[in-house]
């Protein structure tokens, strides 16, 4: 697994307690118990599969955009720009207020509520997909990494790995909620800005050509700065 895929997985793992605070109540509220016993595990699996599928599609879209920048020879400025945005956001403790999250949230929660009120395997899979599209600051952090990938597939894999990293906490809070008290979540949340800063510096380092943070399969010196076709 390359450095960037490892970063995606770690982003999910580090942000998992944040996810417990934001998405945990939703995971706890899933009416899995209303299903027949033999359907409960498949329903949980389908719910999280739907959620990871949403992340994957978002990653494909951002990765495709990143591929366009790559082919235009603008991947380095893009990487530096996204890293600088993360850096500024973290240091100023700002939210992504420029995104229409409130309106988008309302458009998703209504059908999500309807799906949860009528639990079935298909409905819970769809509910997981919609949950994956809900506005979330840490998902935005992961999406900057997907945008910095050089192809749609790499962006999709990046986001699926990010979602996989969130699974331990979201599954654990349902099975063993006592392991995730509010005090522990509050302490762990302090680590999130530090990790975001590290990811921001990785993106900036990748853009300026730090060898350890190069694009997969490319030497740092072969990545075009502002023009031409990669590798030429």
pLDDT per residue over 179-205, tens digit each? 666 666 666 667 777 878 888 888 888
Q: Compute the 3-state secondary structure of the chain and give helix, strand, coil in percent, each to the nearest 5.
A: 80, 0, 20
CA dist., res. 149 & res. 83, Å (int)? 13
Residue 54 binned pLDDT confidence (cut-offs 50, 70, 90): very high
pLDDT of 47 = 92
- pLDDT of residue 211 exceeding 70, the answer is no
CA dist., res. 43 & res. 94, Å (int)? 37
- pLDDT of residue 147 exceeding 50, the answer is yes
Residue 217 binned pLDDT confidence (cut-offs 50, 70, 90): very low
Contacts of residue 122, defined as CB under 8 A and 6 or more positions apart, other chains included, come to none
- pLDDT of residue 19 exceeding 80, the answer is no
CA dist., res. 82 & res. 165, Å (int)? 22
Q: Residues 24-38: what's their mean pLDDT?
A: 77
CA dist., res. 165 & res. 12, Å (int)? 4
Domain boundaries, the chain: 3-215
Is the pTM for the entire model greater than 0.85? Answer: no
**Residue 166 corresponds to which tokens in the numbers above?**
């969130």
Contacts of residue 56, defined as CB under 8 A and 6 or more positions apart, other chains included, come to 156, 157, 159, 160, 163
Residue 123 binned pLDDT confidence (cut-offs 50, 70, 90): very high
Residue 86 binned pLDDT confidence (cut-offs 50, 70, 90): confident
**Residue 23 corresponds to which tokens in the numbers above?**
């998405």
């Amino acid at each position: 697994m390359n450095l960037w895929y490892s970063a995606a997985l770690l982003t999910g793992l580090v942000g998992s307690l944040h996810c417990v605070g934001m998405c945990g109540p939703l995971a706890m509220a899933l009416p899995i118990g209303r299903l027949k016993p033999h359907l409960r595990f498949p329903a949980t699996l389908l719910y999280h599969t739907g959620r990871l599928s949403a992340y994957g599609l978002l990653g494909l879209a951002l990765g495709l955009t990143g591929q366009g920048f790559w082919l235009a020879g603008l991947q380095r400025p893009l990487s530096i720009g996204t890293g600088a945005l993360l850096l500024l956001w973290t240091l100023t403790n700002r939210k992504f207020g420029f995104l229409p999250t409130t309106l988008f949230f309302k458009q998703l929660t209504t059908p999500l509520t309807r799906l949860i009120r009528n639990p079935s395997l298909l409905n819970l899979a769809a509910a997981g997909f919609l949950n994956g599209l809900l506005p979330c600051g840490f998902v935005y952090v992961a999406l900057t990494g997907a945008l910095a990938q050089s192809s749609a597939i790499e962006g999709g894999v990046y986001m699926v790995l990010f979602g996989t990293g969130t699974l331990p906490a979201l599954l654990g809070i349902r099975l063993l909620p006592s392991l995730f008290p509010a005090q522990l979540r509050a302490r762990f949340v302090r680590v999130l800005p530090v990790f975001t800063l590290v990811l921001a510096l990785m993106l900036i380092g990748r853009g300026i050509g730090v060898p350890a943070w190069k694009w997969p399969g490319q030497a740092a010196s072969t990545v075009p700065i502002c023009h031409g076709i990669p590798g030429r």
